[in-house]
Amino acid sequence: MSSYKASVMRKRILTIFICFFVLLFTACAKSEIDENSVTTTYFDTYIYLSNPVVLPDFGDIKPEAVVVQNDRIYYCYVEWESSELYSRTTLTVVSLTVDGHESWRTQVPFDQYVNIKGFRIKDNDTIAVFAMQWNTTDFGIAGNYFYAEYDIEGTELVKKYYTELLQDLAHAFDILQVVITESGNIAITAHDERGITLHIINSMNESVSELHLNADTHRSANSMVATKDDRVLVLDIHEDDTVLREVDLISKSWVSTHPVNCGISSAVFPAGSTDFDLIISDRDYLYGYSLQTNEQTTLLSWVETGLVNLQDAYIGMFSDGSISVLLQQQGNYDSQGIMLYILNPFPRVDLTGKITLTLGGVHIPNETLEAVVEFNLNNTAYRIVVEDYAQFAGGWEAGLTRLQIDLMTGGGPDLILNSFNMLPEQGPYLDLYPFIDNDPVINRADFFSNFLLALENSDGILPMITNGVSIRTMIGTAETVGHIDKWTLSELLALVEGSSGLSHPIGTHMMSLLFISDIVRFSGMGFLDMHTYTADLDNAAFIEVLELSRKFPRTWEEVGTILRSHPDEYLRILRGEQALRAVTLFELEDYHLAAELFGNDLQVIGFPSINGGVHIIETMVEMGINASSEHPDGAWEFLRGFLLPATPSSMVYMGSNFGFPLRIDLFEALVADAPAPHYILDLSSGNLVEMPPTHFLTDMTAAGTPISYEVTLTPMSDVAANNLRSIVTSAQSGYARYSPELWDIIAGDLAAFYDDAKTAEETAQIMQNRLQRYLSEQQVIN
């Protein structure tokens, strides 16, 4: 096994052992603490440590529904089976104790396909479900809705059909959530063309009513909850604020609201503790909530528990204050197993003598959060708390504005994470070059110099850095572009104009606005310069771009329709049905796939520019140190972990598993090991199993039916490897940072142009004036 492959294995295995380390620490802490002394759960006084539990005989089957009641965890899942003679479903319900041990298991067979929508265990251990069933395997036909109760042996006690009562729901786009109360009332949220609606079935008179909710409600799968005392509340998310709205199941009307302070990606669950009625989770924190006083208590930071990927997690609270979390397996594995974590509160001995740093940004990736978890576990001098500004009311744009204001007024986090190139180039960032130059292990020669140059600002300082980049370019074959000496915008226009027999000469995914924005950002034609804050759209070259953009679909809906009826673009190029493909090479394997398909015929030609084709460096996630930070050396301790020679952090490119490494040694290790193996976690043994890297391309039969075309990567040839080195070392900066306002300006008058209400010259002039005014405003701000 090569050194790089071994380091990948070590990194993945380290992630597994972190869980066992936390478990060992928990056991030691338990032996030293009087458990009766734990009387409160404020997260600045107490820390929750996780105890991972592997669910027995569960594998990677995802639960249909989960509830935590009476200090038990109950989950259910369905297994479908079909043959020429029958189609049936088996519902399995499992009861777990607080420590994750199975106490009982019940199976209920059905003679149809059944999809469980709602689930509850009543106080007498009766299993109550609300489900949809089909009498046919045709899932396009609306099914029958029913409510049923079963005893612990699986015997049916009650079954009621509600299909006629729920006729309006039969054609709903999606049932989002169903909750069942102890008294048998049912509340259903659904999403259709009318928006979000709440449907209430009263068990007394078996009638249904419908209430409308805000369009922003139900950003998560768990935004509605039934409390211990039979109340139903909905987490109603507004742009300005978020509230809990309570519904009266008798009058079927809203009766009260409760203020909530949490992020926009939130979920609500019942609490089994006497201290709280509910627990509310957003991406960063877990809160306890009292409906009587409207008091909200911050219980824990998810980063500090080591659990950072909580999408579709189900969270419960037991009477002793411990927390259960049932979620997809953590870690960078291709397989997604199900794990149960039990979180227990202990005094915060972990904070003794530690200095707290903040890491803030908009949409902080899970991989960055995992690096924070690793840092907090191992660093004895500092700990990091995370603030995701995307959680602010108003969404990510409002969060971005808030972050910019904080930074420009001398505040903000110690470490600034820049996702999707959204922050301005100028700002209150420390120059990172002195940190690199003074580091005992890291120096500038470790990195591709052109990558560093692309990250510099116009003053030659390094305000932010990433440890991996993607490369934006164009791919074709020798037959289509091999004869071109100088790949300029004129050559691209001539190629497209001359491709009269091709319906989509540079891609089925390409829409008009995307084509224009790609050319503006990547062509190197000087249409937009964010260093000097100038635009140059009122010229003959850009007018040609506008005219050419008429050849592409105008909306994503139109693009989606085209994609559903066309083969993969690489297959189209191989068959001569398409000339070029504009691509972002997110990682080496993207290039390797193209080299596998085209061999020596592959032409990675770049984006057209005045001086010929160029490959454009594009960063997805960057990080910098706030000039206002009181602890820049501590911030560098975290940041440098991404820039070291092969370590777990350095092999995860700051915010994703994608990218070409900034480090030359890591890049060469990737090339030497190509194709890199994929690893699957075997849940039964806990071992990582090596799998060959395989790609599946979609092809079409003559009848238009999609079929899968499998490509398994073979070792990369020397020719392909050398061509890749040439692409990487010659890539250069040439893109404008993402700005929603900027692209709104470009899109603003396209409709009038495409409808012939304005000429290309008029459209270019309007765009130029609006864009230059916007850039001038940004220059003043920065």
Please write the tens of the pLDDT for every residue from 548-567.
888 888 877 777 777 677 78
Most confident of 309-318, 445-454, 639-648, 689-698: 445-454
Mean pLDDT confidence for 376-387:
88
- Is 50 within 8 Å of 307 (Cβ atoms)? yes
For the ranges 17-31, 658-672, 703-717, which has the lowest average pLDDT? 17-31
| Chain centroid, CA 755 distance in Å | 37
* Nearest alpha-carbon partner for 224 in 130, 143, 127: 130
| Predicted local confidence at residue 170, as pLDDT | 55
| Predicted local confidence at residue 55, as pLDDT | 56
Cα–Cα distance list, 333 to 151, 283, 680 (Å): 38, 21, 6
As a dihedral over the C-alpha atoms of residue 4, residue 10, residue 14, residue 17, rounded to 10 degrees, the angle is 170
What's phi and psi for 281, nearest 5 deg? -120, 135
pLDDT tens readout for residues 210-230: 777 665 554 556 888 988 888
Name beta bridge partners: 195: 192
Task: Name the 3-class secondary structure at 771.
Answer: helix
Residue 258: CB atoms within 10 Å: 19
- Strands 46-54 and 338-347 turn out to be antiparallel
**Greater pLDDT, 83 or 491:** 491
For the ranges 185-189, 286-290, 491-495, 656-660, which has the lowest average pLDDT? 656-660
| Predicted local confidence at residue 222, as pLDDT | 81
Residue 207: CB atoms within 10 Å: 11
- Is 677 within 8 Å of 692 (Cβ atoms)? yes
Average pLDDT, the chain: 80
Mean pLDDT confidence for 746-753:
84
* H-helix segments, 488-644: 489-497, 512-522, 540-549, 556-563, 569-574, 588-598, 632-639
> Which amino acid would we find at residue 540?
A
| Predicted local confidence at residue 439, as pLDDT | 97
| Predicted local confidence at residue 8, as pLDDT | 33
**Greater pLDDT, 363 or 20:** 363
Residue 332 has pLDDT above 70, yes or no: no
As a dihedral over the C-alpha atoms of residue 566, residue 567, residue 572, residue 574, rounded to 10 degrees, the angle is -170
E strand map for 202-303: 208-212, 224-226, 232-237, 242-248, 253-260, 267-270, 278-281, 285-289, 296-301
* Nearest alpha-carbon partner for 263 in 387, 385, 414: 387
User: pLDDT-based confidence at 298, cuts 50/70/90?
Assistant: confident
**Greater pLDDT, 163 or 289:** 289
Angle between helices 366-378 and 632-639 (to 10 degrees): 120
CA–CA gap between residue 543 and residue 554 (Å, rounded):
17
Give 249-260 as a DSSP string. Answer: TTTTEEEEEEEE
CA–CA gap between residue 62 and residue 595 (Å, rounded):
37
- Is 579 within 8 Å of 507 (Cβ atoms)? no
Mean pLDDT confidence for 168-172:
58
CA–CA gap between residue 423 and residue 417 (Å, rounded):
9
pLDDT tens readout for residues 768-781: 998 888 888 877 66
For residue 445, the 8-state DSSP code is G
- Is 649 within 8 Å of 641 (Cβ atoms)? yes
| Predicted local confidence at residue 21, as pLDDT | 32
Mean pLDDT confidence for 599-607:
92
| Predicted local confidence at residue 46, as pLDDT | 57
Mean pLDDT confidence for 17-35:
32
| Predicted local confidence at residue 337, as pLDDT | 60
Contacts made by residues 40-46, CB under 8 angstroms, sequence distance 24+: 41/275, 41/288, 41/297, 41/299, 41/300, 41/321, 41/345, 42/297, 42/298, 42/299, 43/285, 43/298, 43/299, 43/300, 43/301, 43/304, 44/298, 44/348, 45/347, 45/348, 46/345, 46/346, 46/347, 46/348
CA–CA gap between residue 137 and residue 153 (Å, rounded):
28
| Predicted local confidence at residue 329, as pLDDT | 55
CA–CA gap between residue 313 and residue 220 (Å, rounded):
10
Contact residues for 718 (Cβ-Cβ < 8 A; gap 6+): none
User: 3-state SS of 697-746?
Assistant: EEEECCCCCEEEEEEECCCCCHHHHHHHHHHHHHCECCCCCCCHHHHHHH
Mean pLDDT confidence for 34-57:
47
Residue 753: CB atoms within 10 Å: 21
Task: Map tokens 């899932």 to a residue.
Answer: 139
Angle between helices 664-673 and 3-32 (to 10 degrees): 110
| Predicted local confidence at residue 34, as pLDDT | 31
| Predicted local confidence at residue 335, as pLDDT | 41
Contact residues for 647 (Cβ-Cβ < 8 A; gap 6+): 11, 641
- Is 214 within 8 Å of 257 (Cβ atoms)? no
- Is 415 within 8 Å of 635 (Cβ atoms)? yes
CA–CA gap between residue 157 and residue 167 (Å, rounded):
25
- Is 509 within 8 Å of 563 (Cβ atoms)? yes
Task: Name the 3-class secondary structure at 556.
Answer: helix
Cα–Cα distance list, 49 to 21, 73, 550 (Å): 11, 19, 58
pLDDT tens readout for residues 716-744: 999 999 999 999 999 988 665 656 677 78
**Greater pLDDT, 514 or 415:** 415
Residue 442 has pLDDT above 70, yes or no: yes
Task: Return the percentage of the chain with pLDDT > 90, whole number.
Answer: 24
Mean pLDDT confidence for 229-243:
78
**Plot region of 176 (φ>0 → left; ψ -120 to 50 → alpha; else → beta):** alpha
| Predicted local confidence at residue 49, as pLDDT | 61
| Predicted local confidence at residue 38, as pLDDT | 26
Mean pLDDT confidence for 83-104:
79
- Is 463 within 8 Å of 425 (Cβ atoms)? yes
**Greater pLDDT, 627 or 114:** 627
| Predicted local confidence at residue 24, as pLDDT | 31
Residue 631 has pLDDT above 90, yes or no: yes
What is the Cα Rg of the chain in Å? 28
Task: Name the 3-class secondary structure at 765.
Answer: helix
User: pLDDT-based confidence at 64, cuts 50/70/90?
Assistant: confident
CA–CA gap between residue 504 and residue 518 (Å, rounded):
16
For the ranges 42-56, 194-208, 267-281, 468-482, which has the lowest average pLDDT? 42-56
Sign of the CA dihedral running 237, 243, 246, 247: negative
Hey, what are 47's tokens? 């820390």
- Is 378 within 8 Å of 295 (Cβ atoms)? no
- Is 632 within 8 Å of 640 (Cβ atoms)? no
For the ranges 278-292, 422-436, 471-485, 670-684, which has the lowest average pLDDT? 670-684
Hey, what are 335's tokens? 């397989």
Mean pLDDT confidence for 167-194:
77
Residue 686 has pLDDT above 90, yes or no: no
